[in-house]
Structure 1
């Protein structure tokens, strides 16, 4: 899929799309690491000038490479372009509004090395105040689980496991733990696992491509896990505030694509139609509310 890899080198792939000034902090946090790495900054035709600022500030650092796309390809396709140019044996897929600690690379490589069956590793993604974010420890978002989460019935799963939701309850231990899906804000994969599954499904533009990748990694026989002892701060949504309706539309498209690919309920025509109507009704309603608030 890509070039020959270099053992012990970590390829950090960051996709920018008018991501704003936090991109500078993200790049600085990665380049502050002492471990062998390369940073591939894949620019989806940003117009805010920040990618150029980053490139100028780190021109002397050979570890940084900027790859430019002629248009906005979406997150997954841009990650695939970066992976095709990467030379590391481990890939870190990091959102442009994430800040990583200086020992991040060493910690995640140690976690991967603890079990060669790990094909996808997540970390404890937090908000800027250090509170754990949603989505760190997830299950596959089947229709039943999504409804349990939306209705609040998931709160009863300790008593009635049939009503388990998408979010998994907090872990009891502190070690690396098996989950079904991790946060798309920070995903770490051995190069071999990424290439085995063919990278991201480019039918997604934004949202749910991370869930899709986790699912296919598991289906290929690898373990999806999280290392809760390693933290990354995420200023969630900073890349999407300028175009909320654009982002929302692609999020809903991603939800629909995931449902039709993986959920057995999609084989039922009535359920399929109901889910389609529910997804796009939610998009319209949310869009109207956002427009009203902006006015």
Structure 2
């Protein structure tokens, strides 16, 4: 059994897969296996699996959202390791970041989810999703202002933050078993933040390793206007779901506040073109939320649907924390 399983979801992978795998040679940690998941629109998966060592290929039964495709890999061999690494297809390994992340986790058994420093694909600036995560630690965020050429050797090798992106996330399998997989309610975007919150609620630490770097393109599947609008729609809807679970102190009161204040303000900004979310995507996102209202309002109903999903995919063992902001031990059998 390999100590690390790297799960890589390939979707319309085109230009991305070969550079990603070529760069993995910079990773000196040899005790890993890549689970390469063909999630549709790919023409290199089988060839790469044949030509390269330590790769096993899976094919999803149909094209799945990011969260469900990763969960498909987890229950089909991904959990047979001490650590799981979620790696995006549009990443470039700058250096041996995997060993650096594992070293942090091996020193502290309560560290359960880690990412390296993440630059853009060209290495000219920082990845924006990474910067958003780093803002939670003022010391690290201040250092990032020096640019990608700055040195981080004087900072702690592990910096704790509440949320990290799944572009290159290493997770302790023990913690993942307790927290559960990605929640498919998100599809794509914010599913990684939600997972980090559940891992932290289970008593583990989440953060950034300052001793390794990965380049990330971001939005590799956003190839046309239709894909761009879909991405904006999912980000808009998922932001509300995430807030309901982890930011609203009371779900019903939080929803009333959102409908009375935040929704009208965001509606106006989107309508006037002052928002990053196009108006069409904004409207469709909120139509998507209507059938989800029972889950947004009721933690009990939210938990019930979550458990139904875990049973449906055959998630093994005890999940100690439901995606509702608090501990709810349940046996999945």
The two structures share one fold, judged by TM-score above 0.5: yes
Cα gap change, 1:229 to 1:73, in 2 (>3 Å): same
The farther-off stretch of 63-72 and 222-231 is 63-72
Relative distance call for 1:276 and 1:288 in structure 2 (3 A) is: closer
Which piece of structure 1 moves more, 178-187 or 127-136? 127-136
Residue in 2 aligned with 1:15?
9
CA pair 72-114 structure 1, distance change in 2 beyond 3 A? same
How far residue 41 of structure 1 moved from its aligned partner, in angstroms, is 1.5
Greater relative contact order (Cα < 8 A, sep 6+): 1
Matches of residues 279-294 of structure 1 in structure 2 within 5 Å? 285=273, 286-287=277-278
- What RMSD in Å do the two structures reach over aligned CA positions? 2.7
Cα distance change, pair 225–241 in 1 and its aligned pair in 2 (3 A): same
Q: Is the 8 A contact 1:137 1:181 kept in 2?
A: no
Match of 1:188 among 147, 151, 170: 170
Counterpart residue number, 2:35: 40
Question: Does 1:221 pair with 2:203?
Answer: yes
Map of 1:242-253 to 2, 5 A cutoff? Answer: 242=224, 243-253=227-237
- Check the 8 A contact 1:138/1:168 in 2, yes or no: no
**Count of residue correspondences:** 255
Q: Per-residue displacement from partner, 1:113-154 (whole Å, max 9, x unpaired)?
A: 111100111210101224222333656xxxxxxxxxxxxxxx
CA drift of 1:33 comes to 3.6
Question: Which residue is 2:55 aligned to?
Answer: 64
Deviations 1:64-119 (A, max 9, x none): 12211132321111111111222221111011101124523322211111111001
CA contact (8 A) 1:13 1:92 kept: yes
2:221 alignment partner, one of 228, 231, 239: 239
Aligned to 1:145: none
For the pair 1:270 / 2:256, whether they are aligned, the reply is yes
Instruction: Provide the TM-score with structure 1 as the length reference.
Output: 0.77
Matches for 1:197-216 after TM superposition, within 5 Å: 197-216=179-198
Pick one of 63, 72, 84 that aligns with 1:81: 72
Distance in 1, matches of 2:31 and 2:184, equals 29
Q: Distance in 1 between matches of 2:66 and 2:173?
A: 18
Please list every run of 5 or more consecutive structure 1 residues that lacks an aligned counterpart in the other structure: 1-5, 140-164, 291-295
Aligned mates of 2:268, 2:55 — CA distance in 1: 43
Q: How far apart in 1 are the matches of 2:5 and 2:280?
A: 40
Could you tell which deviates more after superposition, 170-179 or 200-209?
A: 170-179
Change (3 A) 1:195 1:277: farther
Any stretches of 5+ residues in structure 2 without a counterpart?
144-154, 282-333
